[in-house]
Structure 1
Amino acid sequence: MSTNATSESSRARNSRDDVVSTAMRMLASGGLPAFSMRALARELEVQPSALYWHFADKQSLLAAIADEIVASMPERAAGETLAESAAALRDALLAHMDGAEILLSSISLGLADDAALVRLQLAGEDAGLERARAQSLAGATLHFVLGHVSHEQQRAQALAAGVEVRAHPHAADDASFEAGLALLEPGTER
């Protein structure tokens, strides 16, 4: 077998999981602005068209990454509260550069699975809410978490890049996250 044939054979063995894990590693080092399908293909030593065997487009790949980020949350405990579910999602998103943006874009395009939303809904149902109310609360909580984490990640990345970041009266931090969740928690007086 020729060297070229051997090289092509080894490249063809990149599984869907290989593509996702390599993409996640690349995103961890450079974030979304530095990520492209061409750069991913170079990293995997394949032609860019080979990636489309596994994914229809870049956004489909990002949706698979979003699903991996959500799947990295610890297993849901029986009786987990809405605040605990939201905190687990926040932690998973913060553990991945641009995690909130990746999940948000995937949800917006209807490409991500519903695992995060379902987990939040179950917490609402466990708190005694009827299904429709728990679904509404889960949606509001998901959007709160995504917005909050997006704010946190953007400020952190700006600071890391040496950008002057002004103080803001509504900083996205642990205290503001907990305060927001307290307003969303079932049974809270409004």
Structure 2
Amino acid sequence: MRNTLADVVTAALGVLDAQGLEGCSMRRVAAALDVQPSALYHHVPNKQSLLALMADEIVGRVGRLHDARALCIALRDAMLRVRDGADVVATAEAFRLGSSEIERSLAEMVGADGARTLLLFTFGHAQSTQTHRQAAQFGALLDAPPAGGQAPPVFDLDASFGRGLDIILRGLVPDADTR
């Protein structure tokens, strides 16, 4: 049975979940599909293209929202559901590898510069949150709250993200020249 492009992307996301972005190689994706690495190149020309497709799959879960704050929260949530999802999406976006439907939607709401600002904040916060969560899993947080104890506000990363969005959005006024 031949694998489809969707099979390749699904396998890549599985490898990402198991190995993280550093361990997500074409060789490992091929092994997950029980094929030779060269078989993947029938579907994608290179790893960057596969990364873009993975990012599109992660971002595709967001849906069409018409509120900039809600869209950023949904994007962050989608990235956080996948191990290293923020790194995948931020990398694809930085290299303009995948679709930028979210950026286009945000630009319609807050202008191009506002959209870029919100995306960079959302990517950065999601990446930081994922790093924090991974460090907590390994017991590597030096200032972690005691087991069963109440987390200080700095550790409430969801609330921190919401406050940051509010700060940015209060200062954003769509500029007709940047749309």
TM-score (norm 1): 0.79
Map 1:132-171 → 2, pairs under 5 A: 134-166=111-143
Partner of 1:59: 48
Do residues 120 (structure 1) and 120 (structure 2) align? no
Shift in Å at residue 112 of structure 1? 1.5
What amino acid does structure 2 have at the position aligned with 1:151? S
Is contact 1:159–1:165 with CA below 8 Å preserved after alignment? no
What amino acid does structure 2 have at the position aligned with 1:152? T
What amino acid does structure 2 have at the position aligned with 1:175? A
Separation in structure 2 between the aligned mates of residue 67 and residue 81 of structure 1, nearest angstrom: 20
Structure 1 residues without counterparts, runs of 5 or longer: 1-9, 125-133
Separation in structure 2 between the aligned mates of residue 140 and residue 174 of structure 1, nearest angstrom: 18
Separation in structure 2 between the aligned mates of residue 169 and residue 72 of structure 1, nearest angstrom: 29
Percent identical among aligned pairs is: 37
CA gap of 1:123–1:171, structure 2 versus 1, over 3 A, is farther
CA gap of 1:118–1:186, structure 2 versus 1, over 3 A, is farther
Stretch of structure 1 that moved more, 24-33 or 43-52: 24-33
1:183 aligned to 143, 154, 167, which one?
167
Partner of 2:61: 72
After the TM superposition, which segments of 4 or more aligned residues of structure 1 sit over 6 Å from their partners?
none
Is contact 1:66–1:102 with CA below 8 Å preserved after alignment? yes
Map 1:37-56 → 2, pairs under 5 A: 37-56=26-45
RMSD: 2.1
Separation in structure 1 between the aligned mates of residue 108 and residue 163 of structure 2, nearest angstrom: 21
TM-score (norm 2): 0.84
Larger radius of gyration: 1
Is contact 1:86–1:142 with CA below 8 Å preserved after alignment? yes
Do residues 88 (structure 1) and 90 (structure 2) align? no
User: How many corresponding residue pairs?
Assistant: 166
Separation in structure 2 between the aligned mates of residue 32 and residue 54 of structure 1, nearest angstrom: 20
CA gap of 1:188–1:52, structure 2 versus 1, over 3 A, is closer
